Chains A and B, each alone.
Chain A
Amino acid sequence: EAGVAQSPRYKIIEKRQSVAFWCNPISGHATLYWYQQILGQGPKLLIQFQNNGVVDDSQLPKDRFSAERLKGVDSTLKIQPAKLEDSAVYLCASSLEAPSGRETQYFGPGTRLLVL
């Protein structure tokens, strides 16, 4: 079974530029998550989808971050414009189960973003 795919794996941009990340979850997984992991910290949830609907985006900085999952499969996360403090690893995860707080999550390899 293929895992969660993410691209690109690495990205370096200058502040105020835009960047987009792509995620393809495990086939059949209805729930998809985007996390931000700053060096030395645990993953912080940015947004959670069930199929193509947003379940939780309470921690997404909506003035600069946006995400979509239009067809309920793959997803993109965009930052526009980027700030220095956005330097982090952006992890995508998916789950077969519906959001309940108990679902097992499978993480992708992440995209390492460096904002200069």
Chain B
Amino acid sequence: GQQVMQIPQYQHVQEGEDFTTYCNSSTTLSNIQWYKQRPGGHPVFLIQLVKSGEVKKQKRLTFQFGEAKKNSSLHITATQTTDVGTYFCAGGQAGTALIFGKGTTLSVSS
């Protein structure tokens, strides 16, 4: 069945450094969504990418969807302590439920 894999599993950075997490699907996706879960919290929707090669930005966050629609990345520029949490990608195919990756947990030290 469809699998969604994320790397790295954990990442620690110093405040101000950049951070990137990668998401890969075993099958072609119709869309990919990104969620953020703060420690002890619940997943919160960040963004959805639909088009091949799509790039979207939210302030310091840049999201990309691969040309083959099988991979995606989230890049955070100049991390802040407020960026701490686990970032999940979730892959979707038409008519099927989203499949969540295991997430990348980001820690930031000041």
Measured between beta carbons, the chain A residues less than 8 angstroms from B96 are 56, 101
Q: Would you give the shortest CB distance from A29 to chain B, in whole angstroms?
A: 13
Measured between beta carbons, the chain B residues less than 8 angstroms from A100 are 92, 94-95
Stretch at the interface among A20-28, A43-51, A61-69, A74-82: A43-51
Measured between beta carbons, the chain B residues less than 8 angstroms from A105 are 43, 45, 98
Per DSSP, chain B at the interface is loop
The interface size bin for chain A is 20 to 34
Complex Cα distance, B103 from A106, in Å, reads: 18
Residue ID in chain A nearest B89 by CB atoms: A42
Q: Would you give the shortest CB distance from A88 to chain B, in whole angstroms?
A: 13
Complex Cα distance, B102 from A59, in Å, reads: 17
Q: Would you give the shortest CB distance from A111 to chain B, in whole angstroms?
A: 11
Measured between beta carbons, the chain A residues less than 8 angstroms from B101 are 42
User: Are A101 and B100 within 8 A (Cβ)?
Assistant: no
Give the number of residues in B that approach A within 8 Å (Cβ atoms): 25
Q: What sequence of 0s and 1s flags, for each residue 33-53 of chain A, a beta carbon within 8 Å of any chain B beta carbon? A: 100000011111100100000
User: Are B98 and A45 within 8 A (Cβ)?
Assistant: yes
User: Are B97 and A99 within 8 A (Cβ)?
Assistant: yes
A102 in contact with B42 given A42-B102, A48-B97 (CB within 8 Å): no
- 8 more A-B residue pairs beyond the given contacts A42-B88, A93-B43, with a C-beta to C-beta distance below 8 A: A42-B102, A42-B103, A45-B97, A91-B42, A91-B43, A101-B97, A102-B30, A107-B44
Binding site for A on B (CB under 8 A): 4, 30-31, 33, 41-45, 48, 50, 88, 90, 92-103
Interchain Cβ contacts under 8 Å between A and B, 24 examples: A33-B97, A42-B90, A43-B43, A45-B98, A45-B99, A48-B97, A55-B97, A91-B42, A99-B95, A100-B94, A101-B30, A101-B31, A101-B92, A101-B93, A101-B94, A101-B97, A102-B94, A104-B33, A105-B43, A106-B45, A107-B43, A109-B41, A109-B42, A110-B42
Binding site for B on A (CB under 8 A): 33, 40-45, 48, 55-56, 91, 93, 99-102, 104-110
